[in-house]
Structure 1
Amino acid sequence: MKKNFLFIAAIAVGLVSFSFINKENSNEEKTVAQVEYKVVTVVESIVPNGLGRSRMISANEIKDYKEYTTTRSGDKDKDEKNKSKRGDIRIKDYEETKLLNFYNLGGIRFQNIAANDAIMTSKINTMIAEGWEIAFINTGVESVGGKGDNKGIFITRYTFKRSL
């Protein structure tokens, strides 16, 4: 009888201990690190003769995508059309940093690429010092005329994140 009592008491203590551990873990799971994201877009012209424009763009304004979103269900009677205007979506509060074009009258200009790299590095270093870290980098090229065309833009999007 005494052995059974000790055995049951040991199981009870174990279960009580486990329940405390379980509560701590469940609280940890509910606590999610909150982060914010910021996108910096670099648009570099690959138009010959220096005719294009190259810029680094960073929005200072926050927009809620839900204000400009329509949810489609397939049932036209239930779909609510988003009534926002293009002007409502535009942002007027942003940073626009001038960059140099890849090309000038003589062709590709490597000094311009080095200058753009220095400016972009300065922006990245400043954001890192402000507590941001690079989460993603995406690139793309748009060629205006198709295959073999040297007219268009080169876009790089830097997505930064930091803890709130």
Structure 2
Amino acid sequence: MKNAVIFGLLLLIFNTNLLAQTWEYKTITVVESIIPNGIGRSRMISSEEARDFREFTTQRTEEDNERNKADRGEIRLKNFEETKLLNFFNMGGIRFQNIAANDAVVTSKINALAADGWELVFVNSGVESYSGPEDENGIYITRYIFKRSGTASN
């Protein structure tokens, strides 16, 4: 009987911890230049500040169509981590060594985050590709979404 009571209490404590569990999320963005001749800039960006989206969001309705009045300067942040990466292209075309080097740097960041308790849960990528001499644009963006367990704050 005593073991059943102890087991029941442990089960209750365990379930209470699960119910109170919250998640913290982090986004890492990798921007890789695909502009020929190596003239672009490639970086891995990680925010070191938090922003509350509610401060920059407006609920718009038919009756109340007023936009959010937040200044863009309030949204910008100055504390972020910027890691230099190599461009995909150089004068000779695609530089596979640069791609491999970027992979190694990004993997290092992912491993460091994993060691800090972050779990990679989602990856999203998009491209605005270079379409010839008239087009000066060309970036490949990958967003890595991580989460880690937190505790409910009271």
Gaps of 5+ in 2: 1-11
Aligned partner of 1:97 in structure 2 is 83
Alignment partner for residue 143 of structure 1, among 108, 129, 133?
Answer: 129
Once the two structures are superposed, the pairs formed by residues 11-160 of structure 1 within 5 Å of their partners are 31-75=19-63, 78-143=64-129, 145=131, 151-160=137-146
* Alpha-carbon spacing, 1:81–1:92, altered in 2? closer, same or farther (3 Å): same
Contact 1:38 1:161 in 2 (8 A): yes
For 1:34, what is the secondary structure of its paired residue?
A: strand
Displacement, 1:81? Answer: 3.1
Displacement, 1:143? Answer: 2.6
Could you tell me the TM-score, scaled by structure 1's length? 0.76
Gaps of 5+ in 1: 1-23
Letter in 1 for 2:49: E
The CA deviation string for residues 22-51 of structure 1, in whole angstroms up to 9 with x for no partner, is: xx6xx75x9242110000000000000001
Aligned partner of 1:20 in structure 2 is none
Q: Percent identity?
A: 62
Of stretches 150-159 and 128-137 in structure 1, the one that deviates more from structure 2 is 150-159
Please give the root-mean-square deviation of Cα atoms over the aligned residues, in Å. Answer: 2.3
Higher helix share: 1
Contact 2:33 2:87 in 1 (8 A): yes
Number of residue pairs aligned between Structure 1 and Structure 2: 136
Aligned partner of 1:15 in structure 2 is none
For 2:21, what is the secondary structure of its paired residue?
A: coil
Of stretches 81-90 and 131-140 in structure 1, the one that deviates more from structure 2 is 81-90
Query: Larger Rg: 1 or 2?
Result: 1
